[in-house]
Structure formats: C-alpha cells, structure tokens
C-alpha cells in the first residue's frame, strides 16, 4: 500500500476507517525526514493491514499543533482511533 498524504480534510476519516494507522509528521526542509522517507515507503509496501500516512507539518500546521508536534520526524501510531505511541 502506498503512503497516504493526510491533511485536515481527510485526517479524521482515515483514522476512523482504519484499525491501525502509522503517521509520519515531516517537513520538506528536514534532512532526517528525507533520509527516513524511503524506509517508511518500503515498509508501507511490506506490511499488510496497516495504513501508513504522512503529514507535512509546514502545510498542515493545525494538525501538528493538535498533536503538539515539537520536533520532526515524529511517528505516531493509532489503533482503533486511539493514539498509542508517539516518538
């Protein structure tokens, strides 16, 4: 499965309609984000039953603020609409 691009319009629907969602909060200027992106993309192709998505914190500042994202890259995992991990 390809990595989904999330924004404020499709975020809630994605979380509600998928049992497990892994989010990557990133920004285009972030070097570590760019290094991590190919690994994240490869994992999305290998793991079934998990939705992989990313949120550009530059474009989606409201979502970054909603989850108090202070550094990037940040990964967050939702299981059955509950955030169970953030680092």
> Any idea which residues carry the catalytic annotation?
30, 33
Residues 6+ apart with CB under 8 A from 5: 53, 54, 55, 56
Render 5-72 in DSSP notation, one character per residue: EP-TTTHHHHHHT-SEEEEEEE-TT-HHHHHHHHHHHHHHHH-TT-EEEEEETTT-HHHHHHTT--SS
């Amino acid at each position: 499965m390809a990595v989904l691009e999330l924004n404020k319009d499709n975020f809630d629907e994605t979380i509600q309609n998928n049992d497990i969602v892994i989010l990557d909060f990133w920004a285009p200027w972030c070097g570590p984000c760019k290094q991590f992106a190919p690994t994240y993309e490869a994992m999305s192709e290998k793991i079934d039953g998990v939705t992989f998505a990313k949120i550009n914190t530059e474009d989606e500042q409201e979502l970054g603020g909603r989850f108090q994202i202070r550094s990037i890259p940040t990964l967050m995992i939702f299981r059955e609409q509950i955030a169970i991990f953030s680092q």
